[in-house]
Amino acid sequence: PRTPLTALSTIPPLNSLFLFHPHMGNCMGSAGGAGGGGGGNFPEEKSKVFMDITIDGGEAQRIVILLHGDKTPKTCANFKALCTGEKGFGFKGSSFHRIIPDFMAQGGDFTNGNGTGGKSIFGGKFEDENFLMTHTKRGILSMANSGPNTNGSQFFLCFRATPHLNGKHCVFGEVESGLEVLDALEAVGTDSGKPRATCKIEDCGALDD
């Protein structure tokens, strides 16, 4: 049998973004406080992005993600711009640094690669836009954070429903196609969260309808 997730509580805290798992407590520490949120108007419409992911240098596999900009326009604008790289930085070339089977895969730290970095397109952290959508199923896309109103660029994809995260993390999208890629990511996860293989976002961007 796999090592119980409660074993994670014995690992020294990481200076990483906060995600709470009911069987392991607060497994992550803080990545800093909130900075500038940034204002502006954002498209209130759904859109799609893609991520081409390789595992251990293998053939790229594509995930297509539906972003619910009609409900979370600011959060979706941030994620979409990080996919396109239009601000001069973003997800391309970064890796999923934390993968826990039966829980989630976390990525988006394109500056440090270990859960301590990343940044939003707004120049700092930004507020939790809302909690209208919830962590209901496999493939849900949600923001990782280090507490209330500390969103940057780190995100996670759920491997199952995680209702204990409702009201703590802003859900803003879901995998529309490529759930088999989640299977491949989950297969190289560990109870400690350190992947057994490099899971890299080789390419990413926006998709036209």
First to last CA, the chain: 45
Sheet bearing 171-177, strands edge to edge: 98-100, 104-107, 155-158, 140-143, 171-177, 61-67, 47-55, 199-207
> Which residues are paired to 82 by β-bridges?
none
Single out the catalytic residue among 8, 19, 165, 182: 165
Q: Is 154 a catalytic residue?
A: no
**Degrees (nearest 5) of the Cα angle 164, 165, 166?**
95
169 noted as active-site residue: yes
Active site residue 156: yes
Of 61, 145, 151, 154, the active-site residue reads 145
Catalytic choice (106, 122, 141, 157): 106
The residue from 169, 172, 182, 185 that is catalytic is: 169
Active site residue 98: yes
- Judge whether 89 counts as a catalytic residue: no
196 catalytically annotated: no
Catalytic residue among 156, 159, 182, 185: 156
Q: Which of 50, 79, 91, 103 is catalytic?
A: 103
CA distances from 9 to 27, 28, 138 (A): 6, 10, 25
Is 62 known to be catalytic? no
The active-site residue out of 21, 97, 98, 135 is 98
Residues classed as catalytic: 98, 103, 106, 145, 156, 165, 169
